[in-house]
Amino acid sequence: MSLLSNSIAGATIAAFCAVPAMAEFQLGERYSDADGDLIADIPQDAADQIDPSTLIFAYTPVEDPAVYADVWSEFLAHMSEVTGKEVQFFPVQSNAAQIEAMRAGRLHVAGFNTGSNPLAVACAGFRPFAMMAAEDGSFGYEMEIITHPGSGIEAVEDINGGQMAFTSETSNSGFKAPSAILKADFGMEAGSDFEPVFSGKHDNSILGVANKDYPAAAIANSVKARMIERDVVTEDQMKVIYTSQTFPTTGYGTAYNLTPALQESIREAFFSFDWSGTGLEEEFGKNGEAQFIDITFKEDWAVIRKIDEANGVAYDCQ
Q: Are residues 168 and 257 in the same domain?
A: no
Looking at residue 9, what is its pLDDT? 29
Q: Are residues 7 and 132 in the same domain?
A: yes
pLDDT by residue (tens digit) across 195-220? 999 999 999 999 999 999 999 999 99
Looking at residue 97, what is its pLDDT? 93
Q: Are residues 7 and 128 in the same domain?
A: yes
Instruction: Give φ, ψ of 194 to 5 degrees.
Output: -155, 160
Q: Are residues 84 and 39 in the same domain?
A: yes
Task: Give the Cα separation of 281 and 139 in Å (integer).
Answer: 15
Q: Which amino acid is at 314?
A: A
Q: Are residues 110 and 252 in the same domain?
A: yes
Looking at residue 216, what is its pLDDT? 98
Structural domain boundaries enclosing 192: 141-247
Q: Are residues 11 and 28 in the same domain?
A: yes
Q: Which residues contact 20 (CB under 8 A, 6 or more apart)?
A: 312, 314
Ranges of residues in the chain with a pLDDT under 70 are 1-23, 314, 318
Q: Are residues 272 and 200 in the same domain?
A: no
Q: Are residues 86 and 133 in the same domain?
A: yes
Looking at residue 233, what is its pLDDT? 97
Q: What is the dihedral of CA 235, 240, 243, 248, to 10 degrees?
A: -40
pLDDT by residue (tens digit) across 25-39? 889 999 999 999 999
Task: Give the Cα separation of 13 and 99 in Å (integer).
Answer: 8
Backbone conformation region of residue 190, classed left if phi is above 0, alpha if psi is from -120 to 50, else beta: beta
Task: Give the Cα separation of 282 and 171 in Å (integer).
Answer: 25
Q: Which amino acid is at 167?
A: T
Q: Are residues 126 and 155 in the same domain?
A: no
Looking at residue 64, what is its pLDDT? 74
Looking at residue 23, what is its pLDDT? 43
Last residue of a domain, one of 228, 247, 266: 247
Last residue of a domain, one of 247, 270, 303: 247
Looking at residue 10, what is its pLDDT? 29
Looking at residue 15, what is its pLDDT? 31
Looking at residue 22, what is its pLDDT? 35
Looking at residue 7, what is its pLDDT? 31
Looking at residue 213, what is its pLDDT? 97
Task: Give the Cα separation of 261 and 281 in Å (integer).
Answer: 28
Burial call 58-76: b when 16+ CB within 10 Å, e when fewer: bbbbbbebebbeebbebbb
Q: Within a 13 Å sphere around the CA of 309, how many CA atoms are in the beta-carbon half?
A: 11
Task: Give the Cα separation of 225 and 230 in Å (integer).
Answer: 9
Number of domains in the chain: 2
Q: Which amino acid is at 61?
A: P
Indicate which CATH number applies to the domain containing 59: 3.40.190.10
Q: Are residues 90 and 129 in the same domain?
A: yes
Looking at residue 12, what is its pLDDT? 28
Q: Are residues 121 and 254 in the same domain?
A: yes
Q: Are residues 16 and 105 in the same domain?
A: yes
Last residue of a domain, one of 247, 275, 307: 247
Looking at residue 5, what is its pLDDT? 33
